[in-house]
Amino acid sequence: MAKCVYPGSFDPMSNGHLDIIRRISKMFDEVHVLVSYNMFKHPAFSIEERVLMAKKVCKQLPNVIVKDYSGLVVNYCKENNINVIVRGMRNYSDYESEFSLFQYNRDIYPDVETILMMPTSKNQFVSSSAIKELVTFGVDIKKYVPKEILDEVVLKFKTNK
């Protein structure tokens, strides 16, 4: 069985994330969407909220499993017999950080491979941080956020002003 993990903070999940998840769900028998903790980020949504939103967005994809994990992604891979990490890459600065991560991951777990996926052109520029900024200033974000979580995202930022 071919399995992969697609990790991210998903704060919130965007249409760019969903684009990649849909595409890899056709390539792998089992896709683990791993809602990760990141010590360098201060998420707007709790880990529980992010997992619930990811589950809502992915519920139509039967081979997608959504979980949270507080450790290194490579350790999750080892624990779950997963040899492929899928990472999204929108631009050159993403490439630089992904290249370093690839090297560390390979050093820690030599059996793991990393696949870099680019979102389709309409999602190339979409980022969770931009979505948060846009919605805070009242911009309609329905082109950038899956419809299943749109109301939750808008409500979060309307109440946090």
CA dist 15 and 31 (Å) reads 17
- Residues 14, 17, 36, 87: which is the catalytic one? 17
CA–centroid distance for 87 within its chain: 8
- Residues 14, 25, 36, 128: which is the catalytic one? 128
Among 149, 135, 154, CA closest to 14 = 149
Residue 9 annotated as catalytic: no
Residue 41 annotated as catalytic: yes
Contact indicator for 107, 72 with CB cutoff of 8 Å? no
Rounded to 10°, the helix 128-136/150-159 angle is: 60
Residue 17 annotated as catalytic: yes
At position 25, the amino acid (one-letter code) is S
- Residues 56, 90, 106, 156: which is the catalytic one? 90
C-alpha radius of gyration, the chain, whole number? 15
Which amino acids are annotated catalytic?
17, 41, 90, 128
